[in-house]
Chains A and B, each alone.
Chain A
Amino acid sequence: MNFRGELESLAEQLHRDPYQKLPVAPVLYLRPRNTWSANGAAIYLPSETKQLKMAGTIGILIGRVNQIAGYVAVNDVSIPHASYYRPAIRQRCRDGFCVIGSDRVDRQPREIRISINGELRCHARIADLIRPADRLIADISEFMTLQPGDIVLAGEPPDAPLAQAGDRVRVEVDGLPAIENEVVPEIAPK
């Protein structure tokens, strides 16, 4: 919820139950180590869903404690879900659901483009972040120290597209090589 547009479109709903008011602190979730993946790796589509949300975004890389060292491209994948009330562990913590580009850039990128099978589906501007990178780091490090090598994902673009089995998903962040991954049906357990 860190891009302008999403919060505005949800505002009326967010004043009602179960939320009751707009968020005060950054709305955070954690990408555990089993979710980390790389450019080119398959994104496995769980059998319980037909589509996955492809939230291409920028990762803010921490160098010295609580300080920004650069930026990386990330595809923050999740099973689409409407509720923000409880932590979306089942929807977000699947193996390989956080694709992290291996290159970094020092200068803050300006835009994110998400394409599916070569067609541009989402174009987000970093200028539309509600909390820009430095503010995000300040607000988080007020209660959680950010360690060297940590990555803070800046937020899901409001129009992040859905992809299905067989789709090739490309996330481009200016100044960085694109990351591209294919959605593949999960191998059924024996």
Chain B
Amino acid sequence: MKSARVAYAGAIHHATEQNGCLRLTDGRVVSEDAVVWLPPIQAGTIFALGLNYADHAKELAFKGPDEPLVFLKGAQSLCGHLGTTRRPRDVTYMHYECELAVVIGKTARRVSKANAYEYVAGYTVANDYAIRDYLENYYRPNFRVKSRDFATPLGPWLVDSAEVPDPMNLPLRTLVNGKVTQEGNTRDMIFDIPALTAYLSEFMTLSPGDIILTGTPKGLADVRVGDEVVTEIEGIGSLKNTIIGDAQENTHVG
């Protein structure tokens, strides 16, 4: 099953996919372009991984990390499918990151790799934008780079784990204005989903609604105001976002 959270006709609804349309819980069936897409779940703790694809780690001239490089993001950083993300006027480099997002489905503490998938509710697509200009070497990557308002698109759908037999073998890619700029496969993760779940739950409790963004492969590029950025993962979804500038952001009322 694929599920979504949407705003429609003045209310927020849970919806499921039905023949290319959205079926609201009250039975109404509406088209995908009739709704405002919200992040498909109400997020608990949001974890993200740095340097978790061997090719990307090499691209940034690092050797692969010995243990997962984990950072956290605030829930206010999320936005839904077809949302907009701001590129501040003064920055010189802002890049997308196509990532498989793992949603935790039940309380997890000291979970073994062998049992890890039992704790996964499902998967969605994330675009973990970063503004490189703001990188500092304190708790890097720091919040000003990675936890900005609405700078982590998530969605469109939460896909039940039962429908994803092998999440560690999914092609993923990014298109900027229709042109493919990033390609990879989840099989190239350094720390896979069982390893990440085991690693985190060894020292802390994971709860339903927690999300792990599993990192991005090589192929990052600067995006500019007006660019349409699509991050997609086979079988999971295609997530579209548009870059806006300060001026547009400040005139939406007018």
Q: Which residues of A contact B (CB under 8 A)?
A: 1, 18-21, 23-25, 27-30, 32-35, 46, 84-90, 93-95, 140, 143-145, 147, 189
Contact = CB atoms under 8 A, between A and B. Distances in A.
Contacts of B181: none
Contacts of B76: 144-145, 147
Interface string B121-147: 000000000000010111110111001
Given A19-B137, A28-B139, A93-B204, A143 B149 contact: yes
Contacts of A147: 76
A32 B45 contact: yes
Contacts of B117: none
B203 A143 contact: no
B207 A34 contact: yes
A143 B148 contact: yes
19 contacts: A18-B137, A23-B138, A29-B72, A30-B147, A32-B204, A34-B45, A34-B207, A84-B138, A84-B139, A86-B139, A86-B140, A88-B139, A90-B203, A93-B203, A93-B204, A143-B144, A144-B143, A144-B149, A145-B149
Contact of B144 (A20, A25, A95, A189): A25
Nearest to A190: B110
A143 B143 contact: yes
B71 A144 contact: no
B204 A87 contact: no
A115 B205 CA distance: 29
Given A1-B138, A24-B136, A143-B149, 20 more contacts: A18-B137, A19-B137, A23-B136, A25-B143, A28-B139, A30-B74, A30-B143, A32-B45, A33-B44, A33-B207, A84-B139, A85-B137, A85-B138, A87-B71, A89-B71, A93-B72, A95-B204, A144-B74, A144-B143, A145-B76
Instruction: Give the bracket for the number of chain B residues in contact with chain A.
Output: 20 to 34
B137 A87 contact: no
Contacts of A20: 137
B35 interface: no
B243 interface: no
B139 to A, nearest CB: 5
A33 B137 CA distance: 26
Q: In the complex, which of the residues B74, B77, B148 has the most CB atoms of chain A within 10 Å of its own CB atom? A: B74
A90 B73 CA distance: 15
Contact of B110 (A18, A27, A189): A189
A90 B139 CA distance: 12
Nearest to B199: A90
